[in-house]
């Protein structure tokens, strides 16, 4: 919401407060100022080290060089058809100025004007925005010659002064603008762009902001006049309230008060449609609204002023519609009701809209007139020919307006306010304010009285706040009198009784609840007005809760640490993917599917963590070496219920095993055993023993001969292996094999860890190599098992260091070579070592037909 400071000053005295002071006070109180845009007022200057507090834009106006001036004569340019020469008085001297402004052009060659025209005049050297440039480009006004005429100054458009984007013509100031006055003094402004959070909806207007500032500064709030046009603000003249009362001409029927708690209507006659005064147009533009005409502007101005959206109907159109249905009384009956499904209405943007029962309509006896609270209908719209206006101010159900604005994609200033809730009390004030402004700007005559049907009044709850509540929840000591004083500044009606305050909600806000909620609502107001910055910082005095830990989380973090220590990089992927993307690796029929995906390729929740991981490998495929892991949830659908979210971890490796360097030229690629080595270290790091690796065909995406299943205590926990060549082909990978692993974290975590650490002997170990030739069918695991079993406790380490095949050994045979470590609680003799060795060799010969290789 954009608030011009000049407008704010109508309702609160801001003397002694800089624009930044005001912005700071509002920001700290929950009305966050996103940006300050200067349009004339002096901008703060910063010396080194001083703080800029707000995003700032715009320009300040030079008091010497920018002044109010009057055009006295409009002449022709001797050499240019499209330019005019203005004789202008700047309060001190006469000046000649060139302009091509279209809104002066029709006066070209008129000569002396009967009535002078007031303009914004910029002298040589003024810093302005370049009106002809794209966007906002600062420039300094320089002396030049245009078609033979010297030009040293100009009359300005709004764009040049940083008021708006408008550069169609020059600014034509109101007639009472004092010639010679510095423009900054006359209409220098700054605009606060304030974000309005949902429970601050009441403040989406100038009076609301002024009320907050008054509360925060302890100053007085001046209220706008709403005297139904009996007096105009500027001239002080009486504009008589005249003619037949509106109550005799219009009646209102509300069919559902839940949808439409209140409807107020007023009538103004004999208006003249014309532009609003310039200062009003300027304020509207600064507030982000395009001026249209005095009548439309009055509805917008009143809305920005006090927060009540209004709608103006062409009264004569309504009267003729009454005639069309043969009602001779000519009394207009306004009916509000829910639309019928499929009912149609052409809105004032010319679009025919198909309605649903979620939309509310303002109708007469002939049919629909407007989409309530969102947009008027085309037929009864105000036009240049409109003479009489029926002005609507109503209260609507905020949920309904919200749905309607969304459904028809019609966000507007009105629906913004209505969809956050406008207090029904504002309907009457809004109509009065609107009529007053229309009378002032259009010369119309207001019909006596208002038609007002008010069926559903909000509760405006009364909340009891005690000094104890303030101490218990805010942690500060305030007396009941102090509490009442703070709340009174926000117009709560307060009565003090000993240590408690009864505070009645003022009739402009809907955000105060009842009971415990109301108490929290009111305490927030106490804290805000008191100042969050004045509340002390204390440490909790409450007792500490029982300590319970989160074993799953701690365990996952431990696994992450082990994996990174093994040189594997962690990644975190999008949880959202598509079945097509995952099907490159593994196909699933059912997914947790989004009803509103941002894109088809992110329409389901992933089922395979490995599929996510491989996409990351693919993205980094040009890297020399990749080892990545991810730990995270996958999502298993559960019909119309919440999905299961098992935790998984996946590793993928491809590329070079060791980093190349300037003297290390080649390195082998990662293979199955690089992965296995890491998994072994991971599992031992997680203190898991009894791990077995068996060939598997359970994962079709793996190479059938290079795939293993991992079990702990007989329980399967994961698979790993080389990616199947046909699967690998579907990705944009480099040549080297891609080795992957996928584990079920919960199964892994539930496997029983072992916590023994073997003692380290002081006696020297005996190291020895032994190589045996066995049939290909004999697995390394079997041989190693036999060695360990036979050697018993003395054989503390068995390490396979070579697997060898050749003709000498024979076809179908292989040689397995082991380092054995013998360790005893004494120094072993050679003879003892030899005895163990013989025993092992014999056992291998016997069990698997091994032959000792010499």
Partner 1 sequence: MLDQLNEIEKAALESLQSITDSAALEAWRVSHLGRSSPLMSVFAGLGKLSKEERPAVGSGANRVKVALEAALEERSKIVKEAALAKSLEEESLDVTLPGRGVHVGRLHPSTQQLRKVMGILADMGFQIYTSREVETDEYNFQLLNFPPNHPARDMQDTFFVEADGRGDNPILLRTHTSPGQIHAMREYAATNPDNPPPIRIALPGMCFRYEQITARSEIQFNQVEGLVVGENITFADLKGTLADFARRMFGQHARVRFRASYFPFTEPSAEVDVECFVCGGKGCGVCKNSGWLEILGCGMVHPVVLQNGGYDPARYSGFAWGMGPERQLMLRYKIDDIRYFWGNDLRFLEQF
- Binding to partner 1 in span 262-281, by CB under 8 A: none
| 673 binds partner 1 per the rule CB under 8 A | no
Q: Which stretch binds partner 1 (CB under 8 A): 273-281, 496-504, 511-519, 728-736?
A: 511-519
Q: Locate 325 and state its tokens.
A: 């249905």
- Provide the minimum distance between the beta carbon of 616 and partner 1 in the complex, in angstroms, as a whole number: 4
Q: Which stretch binds partner 1 (CB under 8 A): 83-91, 278-286, 556-564, 825-833?
A: 556-564
| 32 binds partner 1 per the rule CB under 8 A | yes
Q: Of 242 and 667, which has the nearer Cβ to partner 1?
A: 667
Q: Site for partner 1 (CB under 8 A): which residue of 97, 427, 447, 523?
A: 523
Q: Of 213 and 568, which has the nearer Cβ to partner 1?
A: 568
- Binding to partner 1 in span 609-668, by CB under 8 A: 616, 619-620, 623, 625-629, 632-633, 635, 639-643, 645, 658-659, 661-662, 664
Residues 6+ apart with CB under 8 A from 825: 761, 763
| 760 binds partner 1 per the rule CB under 8 A | no
Are 478 and 276 spatial neighbours (Cβ–Cβ below 8 Å)? Answer: no
Q: Of 402 and 837, which has the nearer Cβ to partner 1?
A: 402
- Alpha-carbon distance of 143 to 708, in angstroms, equals 85
- Which SS3 state, helix, strand or coil, does residue 248 take? helix
- Provide the minimum distance between the beta carbon of 419 and partner 1 in the complex, in angstroms, as a whole number: 6
| 544 binds partner 1 per the rule CB under 8 A | yes
Ramachandran bin of 125, using left for φ above 0, alpha for ψ from -120 to 50, beta for the remaining angles:
left
Are 146 and 182 spatial neighbours (Cβ–Cβ below 8 Å)? Answer: no
Give Cα 371 distance to the centre of its chain.
28
Q: Of 683 and 828, which has the nearer Cβ to partner 1?
A: 683
Q: Of 60 and 605, which has the nearer Cβ to partner 1?
A: 605
Q: Site for partner 1 (CB under 8 A): which residue of 274, 340, 468, 552?
A: 552
For the chain, report the end-to-end CA distance as a whole number of angstroms: 91
Inter-CA distances, 510 with 201, 209, 339, 515, Å: 9, 16, 26, 15
| 559 binds partner 1 per the rule CB under 8 A | no
- Binding to partner 1 in span 561-620, by CB under 8 A: 563-576, 592-598, 602, 605, 616, 619-620
CB atoms within 10 A of CB 92: 10
Cα dihedral across residues 581, 582, 583, 588: positive or negative: negative
- Surface-to-core class of residue 17, CB atoms within 10 Å of its CB (0-12 exposed, 13-18 middle, 19+ buried): middle
Q: Which stretch binds partner 1 (CB under 8 A): 95-103, 162-170, 528-536, 759-767?
A: 528-536
Cα dihedral angle (690, 693, 697, 700), rounded to 10 degrees?
100
Q: Which stretch binds partner 1 (CB under 8 A): 180-188, 342-350, 539-547, 796-804?
A: 539-547
* DSSP secondary structure, 670-708, as one string: P-HHHHHHHHHHHHHHTT--SEEEEE--S-TTEEEEEEE
- Provide the minimum distance between the beta carbon of 615 and partner 1 in the complex, in angstroms, as a whole number: 9
- Binding to partner 1 in span 145-204, by CB under 8 A: 197-201
| 686 binds partner 1 per the rule CB under 8 A | no
Residues 6+ apart with CB under 8 A from 277: 174, 441
Binding mask 35-74 for partner 1 (x = CB under 8 A): -----------x--xxxxxxxx------------------
* DSSP secondary structure, 496-563, as one string: EETTEEEEEPPTT-----SHHHHHHHHHHHHHHHH-GGGSPP----SPPPPP---HHHHHHHHHHHHH
| 550 binds partner 1 per the rule CB under 8 A | yes
Q: Which stretch binds partner 1 (CB under 8 A): 97-105, 114-122, 304-312, 557-565?
A: 557-565
Are 265 and 250 spatial neighbours (Cβ–Cβ below 8 Å)? Answer: yes
* DSSP secondary structure, 7-66, as one string: HHTTTS--TT--HHHHHHHHHHTT--EEEEEEEESPPP---TTPPP-S-EEEEEPPTTTE
Q: Site for partner 1 (CB under 8 A): which residue of 16, 236, 536, 725?
A: 536
- Provide the minimum distance between the beta carbon of 675 and partner 1 in the complex, in angstroms, as a whole number: 13
- Provide the minimum distance between the beta carbon of 421 and partner 1 in the complex, in angstroms, as a whole number: 8
Q: Which stretch binds partner 1 (CB under 8 A): 145-153, 374-382, 386-394, 474-482?
A: 474-482
- Provide the minimum distance between the beta carbon of 526 and partner 1 in the complex, in angstroms, as a whole number: 9
Q: Which stretch binds partner 1 (CB under 8 A): 246-254, 289-297, 330-338, 559-567?
A: 559-567
- Binding to partner 1 in span 414-473, by CB under 8 A: 419-421, 471-473
| 547 binds partner 1 per the rule CB under 8 A | yes
| 677 binds partner 1 per the rule CB under 8 A | no
Q: Site for partner 1 (CB under 8 A): which residue of 543, 698, 777, 854?
A: 543
- Provide the minimum distance between the beta carbon of 714 and partner 1 in the complex, in angstroms, as a whole number: 29
Short-list 814, 807, 724, CA closest to 774: 814
Buried b (16+ CB within 10 A) or exposed e, 118-135: bbbbbbeebebbbbeeee
Q: Of 532 and 801, which has the nearer Cβ to partner 1?
A: 532
Size of residue set near partner 1 by CB under 8 A:
109
| 318 binds partner 1 per the rule CB under 8 A | no
E strand or H helix at 67, and its extent? strand 66-76
- Provide the minimum distance between the beta carbon of 590 and partner 1 in the complex, in angstroms, as a whole number: 11
HEC string for 296-309: HHHHHHHHHHHCCC
- Alpha-carbon distance of 182 to 69, in angstroms, equals 10
- Provide the minimum distance between the beta carbon of 572 and partner 1 in the complex, in angstroms, as a whole number: 5
- Alpha-carbon distance of 212 to 16, in angstroms, equals 17
Q: Of 26 and 187, which has the nearer Cβ to partner 1?
A: 26
Q: Of 254 and 405, which has the nearer Cβ to partner 1?
A: 405
Q: Of 211 and 814, which has the nearer Cβ to partner 1?
A: 211
Q: Of 409 and 640, which has the nearer Cβ to partner 1?
A: 640
| 542 binds partner 1 per the rule CB under 8 A | yes
- Binding to partner 1 in span 332-391, by CB under 8 A: none
């Amino acid at each position: 919401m954009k608030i011009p400071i000049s407008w704010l000053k109508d309702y609160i005295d801001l003397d002694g407060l800089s624009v930044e002071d005001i912005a700071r006070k509002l920001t700290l109180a929950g009305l966050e100022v996103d940006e300050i845009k200067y349009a004339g007022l002096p901008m703060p200057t910063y010396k080194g080290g001083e703080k800029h507090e707000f995003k700032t834009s715009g320009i300040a106006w030079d008091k010497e060089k920018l002044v109010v001036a009057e055009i006295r004569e409009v002449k022709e340019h001797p050499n240019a058809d499209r330019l005019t020469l203005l004789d202008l008085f700047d309060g001190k001297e006469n000046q000649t100025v060139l302009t091509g402004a279209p809104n002066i052009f029709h006066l070209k060659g008129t000569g002396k004007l009967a009535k002078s025209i007031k303009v914004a005049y910029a002298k040589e050297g003024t810093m302005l925005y370049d009106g002809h440039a794209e966007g906002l480009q600062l420039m300094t006004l320089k002396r030049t010659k245009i078609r033979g005429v010297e030009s040293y100054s100009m009359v300005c458009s709004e764009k040049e002064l940083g008021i708006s984007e408008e550069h169609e013509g020059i600014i034509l100031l109101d007639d009472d603008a004092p010639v010679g006055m510095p423009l900054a003094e006359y209409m220098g402004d700054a605009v606060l762009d304030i974000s309005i959070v949902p429970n601050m909806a009441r403040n989406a207007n100038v009076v609301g902001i002024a009320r907050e500032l008054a509360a925060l500064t302890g100053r007085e709030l001046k209220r706008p006049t709403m005297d139904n046009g009996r007096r105009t603000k500027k001239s002080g003249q009486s504009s008589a309230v005249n003619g037949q009362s509106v109550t005799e001409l219009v009646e209102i029927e509300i069919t559902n008060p839940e949808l439409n708690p209140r409807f107020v209507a007023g009538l103004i006659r004999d208006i003249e449609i014309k532009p609003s005064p310039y200062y009003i147009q300027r304020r509207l533009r600064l507030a982000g609204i395009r001026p249209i005409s005095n009548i439309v502007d009055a509805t917008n101005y009143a809305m920005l002023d006090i927060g009540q959206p209004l709608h103006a109907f062409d009264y004569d159109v309504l009267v003729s519609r009454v005639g069309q249905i043969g009602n001779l009384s000519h009394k207009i009956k306004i009916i509000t009701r829910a639309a019928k499904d499929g009912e149609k209405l052409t809105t004032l943007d010319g679009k025919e809209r198909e309605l649903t029962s979620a939309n509310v309509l303002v109708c007469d006896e002939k049919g629909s007139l407007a989409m309530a609270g969102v947009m008027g209908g085309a037929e009864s719209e105000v036009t240049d020919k409109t003479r009489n206006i029926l002005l609507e101010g109503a209260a609507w159900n905020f949920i309904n307006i919200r749905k309607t604005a969304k459904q028809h994609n019609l966000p507007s200033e009105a629906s913004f306010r209505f969809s956050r809730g406008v207090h029904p009390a504002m309907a009457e004030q809004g109509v009065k304010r609107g009529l007053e402004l229309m009378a002032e700007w259009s010369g119309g005559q207001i019909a006596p009285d208002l038609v007002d049907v008010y069926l559903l009044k909000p509760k405006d709850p009364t909340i009891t706040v005690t000094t104890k509540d303030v101490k218990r929840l805010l942690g500060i000591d305030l007396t009941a009198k102090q509490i009442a004083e703070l709340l009174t500044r926000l117009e709560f009606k307060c009565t003090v009784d000993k240590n408690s305050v009864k505070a009645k909600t003022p009739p402009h806000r809907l955000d105060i609840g009842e009971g415990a909620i109301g108490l929290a609502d009111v305490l927030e107001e106490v804290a805000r007005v008191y100042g969050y910055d004045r509340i002390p910082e204390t440490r909790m005095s409450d007792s500490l809760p029982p300590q319970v830990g989160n074993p799953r989380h701690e365990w996952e973090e431990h696994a992450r640490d082990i994996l990174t220590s093994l040189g594997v990089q962690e990644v975190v992927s999008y949880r959202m993917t598509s079945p097509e993307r995952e099907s490159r690796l593994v196909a699933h029929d059912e997914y947790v599917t989004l009803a509103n995906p941002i894109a088809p390729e992110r329409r389901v929740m992933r089922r395979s963590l490995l599929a996510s991981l491989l996409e990351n490998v693919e993205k980094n495929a040009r890297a020399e070496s990749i080892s990545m892991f991810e730990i995270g949830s996958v999502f298993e659908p559960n019909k119309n219920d919440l999905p299961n979210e098992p935790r998984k971890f996946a590793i993928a490796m491809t590329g070079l095993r060791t980093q190349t360097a300037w003297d290390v030229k080649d390195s082998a690629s990662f293979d199955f055993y690089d992965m296995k080595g890491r998994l072994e270290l991971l599992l031992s790091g997680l203190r898991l023993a009894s791990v077995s690796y068996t060939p598997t065909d359970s994962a079709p995406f793996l190479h059938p001969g290079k795939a293993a299943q991992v079990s702990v205590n007989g329980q399967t926990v994961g698979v790993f292996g080389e990616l199947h060549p046909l699967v690998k082909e579907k990705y944009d990978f480099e040549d080297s094999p891609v080795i992957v692993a996928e584990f079920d974290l919960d199964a892994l975590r539930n496997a029983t860890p072992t916590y023994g650490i073997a003692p380290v002997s002081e006696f020297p170990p005996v190291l020895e190599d032994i190589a045996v030739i066995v049939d290909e069918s004999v697995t390394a695991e079997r041989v190693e098992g036999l060695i360990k079993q036979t050697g018993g406790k003395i054989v503390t380490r068995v390490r396979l260091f070579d697997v060898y095949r050749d003709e000498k050994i024979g076809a179908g045979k292989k040689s397995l070579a082991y380092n054995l470590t013998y360790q005893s609680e004494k120094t072993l003799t050679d003879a003892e070592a030899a005895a163990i060795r013989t025993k092992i060799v014999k056992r291998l010969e016997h069990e698997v037909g091994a032959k000792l290789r010499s």
